[in-house]
Amino acid sequence: MTLHETLPADTHDEKAIERPSVYVYDAPVRIWHWGNAVSILTLALTGYLIGSPLISVSGEASANYLMGRIRFIHFAAAQTLTVLLILRVYWVFVGNVHARQIFYVPIWSGRFWKEWSHEVRRYMFMTRQTKKYAGHNPLARFTMFLLFTLPLFFMVITGFALESEGAGRDSWEYVLFDWVFSIWPNSQDIHTNHHLGMWGIVIFVIVHIYVAVREDIMSRQGIISSMISGERFFKDMED
Amino acid sequence: MATAETFYDVIRRQGITRRSFTKFCSLTAASLGFGSGAATAMAEALETKERVPVIWMHGLECTCCSESFIRSAHPLVKDVVLSMISLDYDEMIMAAAGHQAEAILEETKAKYKGKYILAVEGNPPLNEDGMFCIDGGRPFVEKLRWMAEDAMAVIAWGACAAWGCVQAANPNPTQATPIDKVIHDKPVIKVPGCPPIAEVMTGVITFITTFDKLPELDRQGRPKMFYSQRIHDKCYRRPHFDAGQFVEEWDDEGARKGYCLYKTGCKGPTTYNACSTVRWNEGVSFPIQSGHGCIGCSEEGFWDQGSFYDRLTNLHQFGIEADADKIGLTAAGIVGGAIAAHAAVTAIKRVTTKREKADA
């Protein structure tokens, strides 16, 4: 990683101060992040409504297509999310070092676990010292891998398995994902797990937003803006 | 046991003359556009081909499969039993008993090695060395393994033989085990359902006897021709599902109008069977047509999927009655509360730290 020296204007003293910044998240990663955010919001809402449908509409069945539309939106958002995920996995191999962070956890690295436990202690208010990381801190990386990356793949796989049920036995969805039915022969179980996966991701989103806002304030590093501009600023110059 | 009848014997027995039989063969060969030798070949095949011997055994079961089977209309069960197959052994409907009955098994095993079909209704319990189901003085599982050794194929009738059904439901004290978990070296055709549809049962047998091969099976071992679509895919109430029109309560306007039973727990969207196409009792009706949701009886572990009237499965791991959505919502609430508390502590810490700094 390379440190760029950027020169933001200081409005009070009318002179430029130097703040170090690192280019962390390149454009594909940022596009993926926000594309994901929109798709996941859509998927969670429509998915919930598929499991627990809205109150019945009146009139002839031929004049209504509410459930059909909700399901269409769910499937369309799912396909979008999947295409984005495929591009993202491609970017793991060609992007910068930060692009592969949340796709694996270096469980073999002693340093990782040392820093990980430091972050846990910091969140338990046991230490006040903030360490600077260009990308995710080890705890964030660990949590994202466990509570986001893995569930995301799980949701895509179970989702396509469920879609194959309607698409039919000769559909590409079934050809690719029929093995899911060997794990859970009764697709009712796949439905249940797909629901649980949704709630897992909802919980991740709650924690994710809280931690991002909190870190932005507390750690004196640009967290939220880094997912928009790609650059992370370090507000304190010491160390 | 007498020598097995050929198809020609059956045709003659039903009052068709030799002349009519040869005419039938010639006409069929001609209409199918076969060569001159085909008529003779067909006649010879029908004259020499023996009916397929079938051994029908019963393990832990309730006999609803047999009850369903005898009600088949297309083909009529009498035609299946008397003309298409040679049902040499069936504990339910055979005249022989005791040693005579056991002798049939020995004889079939020796005489038709690799040629007979073993149809199994119910399943073997494996706990306590199989002592929960004793048949002819020995555990049923032994008899099953012994007869399966020389069978051409095994048909697993019903949810019991295919998946385990009620006797395998949690906690499964007898360790009732589906056939394909016990017999590994023979093709096992699963025909699930509690019971399976009569026409599906006779249809599977008819296919085997007519084409002399086993039907194409899906990943779960079920015949594709009957089990590759869900009840939901061919349900006549499907338009109401797509429209978003549901029965909310059992006696509401939607129930009277025949709306979709999804919200009252219909398992049609997760159940693979032919009920919505073949229907029951000569195609008269099927559960959804009678106003009740599908209970998913042809699916694996359907007894352990919670209430018949809930869309979401009860998850008993949590000790209380809860489904995925309730658990998810509770967990999200707990996490939300924890975050609020964490944020509060953060704020307090920050204020106190600032004070300390100001004091210093």
- Nearest chain B alpha carbon to A58: B245
Statement: residue A239 has pLDDT above 70:
no
Q: Report the distance separating Cα A199 and Cα A192, nearest Å.
A: 11
Query: Over the stretch B251-298, which tens digit does the pLDDT of each residue have?
Result: 899 999 999 999 999 999 999 999 999 999 988 999 999 999 999 999
B290/B250 Cα distance (integer angstroms) = 12
Partner B contacted by A68 (CB < 8 A): yes
Q: What letter represents residue B8's amino acid?
A: Y
A46: tokens are 């429509």
Cα separation, B219 vs B217, whole angstroms: 7
Q: Each residue of B302-333: pLDDT tens digit?
A: 998 888 998 887 776 655 667 888 888 888 99
Q: Which of the residue ranges A47-51, B34-38, B354-358 has the most confident prediction, judged by mean pLDDT?
A: A47-51
For residue range B63-75, list pLDDT tens digits in order. 999 999 999 988 8
> A 186-205 residues with CB below 8 A of B?
186-189, 191-193, 195-196, 198-200, 202-203
pLDDT of residue A96: 87
Q: What is the DSSP string of B191-229?
A: E-SSS--HHHHHHHHHHHHHHSSPPPB-TTS-BHHHHSS
Question: For chain B, what is the mean pLDDT?
Answer: 89
Calculate how close chain A gets to B225, using CA atoms only, in Å: 11
Taken as a whole, chain A contains a residue count of 239
Long-range contacts of B128-132 (CB under 8 A, 24+ apart): B128/B174, B132/B60, B132/B174, B132/B176
pLDDT of residue B47: 83
Q: Is residue A180 pLDDT above 90, yes or no?
A: yes
Query: Is A53 in contact with B263 (CB distance < 8 Å)?
Result: yes
Specify the range with the lowest mean pLDDT, choosing from A136-140, A231-235, B8-12, B110-114: A231-235
Nearest beta carbon to residue A206 from set B224, B302, B339:
B339
CB pairs under 8 A, 24+ apart, for A163-167? Answer: A163/A75, A163/A78, A165/B230, A165/B269, A165/B270, A166/B230, A166/B232, A166/B233
Q: How far is CA B109 from CA A155, B6, B17, B102, in A?
A: 50, 19, 34, 11
| Whole-number pLDDT of residue B1 | 46
Each residue of B136-148: pLDDT tens digit? Answer: 889 999 999 999 9
Q: Give the mean pLDDT of A193-199.
A: 93
How far CA B103 is from CA of A204, B100, B110, B140, B145, in Å, comes to 66, 5, 11, 16, 17
A104 close contact with B: CB closer than 8 A: no
Amino acid at B81: V
The pLDDT score that the predictor gives to residue B360 is: 64
Residue B350: predicted pLDDT: 80
Q: Which of B92, B201, B343, B260 is nearest to A68 (CA)?
A: B260
What residues in A contact B341, CB-CB < 8 Å? none
Read off the pTM. 0.86
- The pLDDT tens digits of the residues spanning A31-42 come to 999 999 999 999
pLDDT greater than 90 at residue B117:
yes
Report how far residue A68's alpha carbon sits from residue A62's, in angstroms, rounded to the nearest whole number.
12
Q: What percent of chain A has pLDDT over 70?
A: 91
φ and ψ of A104, to 5 deg: -155, 160
Phi and psi, residue A95, nearest 5°: -80, -175
Q: How many residues does chain B have?
A: 360
C-alpha triplet B202, B213, A181: angle, nearest 5°: 75
ipTM of this complex: 0.85
User: Can you say how many angstroms the Cα of residue B204 is from the centroid of all Cα atoms in its chain?
Assistant: 11
Q: Which of A130-134, B17-21, B214-218, B313-317 has the lowest mean pLDDT?
A: B313-317
Helix, strand, coil in percent for chain B, rounding step 5: 50, 15, 40
Provide the residue type at B11 as one letter. Answer: I
Per-residue pLDDT band for B56 (boundaries 50, 70, 90) equals: very high
Domain boundaries, chain A: 3-12+22-233
Category of B122 on φ-ψ map: left (φ > 0), alpha (ψ -120 to 50) or beta: left
Q: Beta-carbon neighbour count of residue B128 at 10 Å?
A: 11
Contact between chains at A51 and B312 (C-beta distance less than 8 A): yes
The CB density around residue A17, as the number of other CB atoms within 10 Å, is 10
Residues 6+ apart with CB under 8 A from B175: B125, B126, B127
Report yes or no: A176 at the B interface, CB cutoff 8 Å.
no
Contact B88, B56 (CB under 8 A): no
Q: What is the fold of A3-12+22-233?
A: Fumarate Reductase Cytochrome B subunit (1.20.950)
Question: B315 contacts in A (CB within 8 Å)?
Answer: 192
Task: Locate A18 and state its tokens.
Answer: 């130097």
- Across residues B325-343, what is the average pLDDT? 88
Q: Look up residue A107 and give its amino acid.
A: I
Lowest mean pLDDT among A27-36, A125-134, B84-93, B163-172: A125-134
Q: Concatenated DSSP letters for B6-26? A: BHHHHHHHTT--HHHHHHHHH
B300 touches chain A (CB under 8 A): yes
Quick one: pLDDT at residue B201?
93
How many whole angstroms separate alpha carbon A193 and alpha carbon A155?
A: 9
Asked if A206 lies within 8 A of B342 by C-beta distance, the reply is: no
Q: Which of A55, A56, A209 to mutate to test the interface with B (most CBs of B within 10 A)?
A: A56
For residue B268, give both structure tokens: 């049609």
Give the gap in angstroms from C-alpha A96 to the nearest C-alpha of chain B.
Answer: 32
Distances in Å between the Cα of B350 and the Cα atoms of A125, A219, B283 are 11, 12, 74
Task: Please indicate if any CB of chain B lies within 8 Å of the CB of A220.
Answer: no
| Mean pLDDT (whole number) for B46-53 | 84
What's the token pair of residue B334? Answer: 């707990």
Nearest to A165 by CA among B237, B234, B200: B234
Give the three-state DSSP class for B173. coil
Q: Do residues B163 and B202 make contact, with C-beta atoms less than 8 angstroms apart?
A: no
User: Do A67 and B243 make contact, defined as CB atoms within 8 angstroms?
Assistant: yes
C-beta atoms of A191 and B312 within 8 A? yes
Confidence of residue B2 (pLDDT cuts 50, 70, 90): low
Summarize pLDDT for A86-100 with one digit per residue, the tens: 999 999 999 888 888
> Are the CB atoms for A186 and B270 separated by under 8 Å?
yes
Mean pLDDT within B160-176: 94
Smallest Cα–Cα separation from B123: which of B166, B88, B82?
B166
Residues of chain A neighbouring B343 (CB-CB closer than 8 A): 210, 214
The dihedral sign for the CA sequence B159, B161, B166, B169: negative
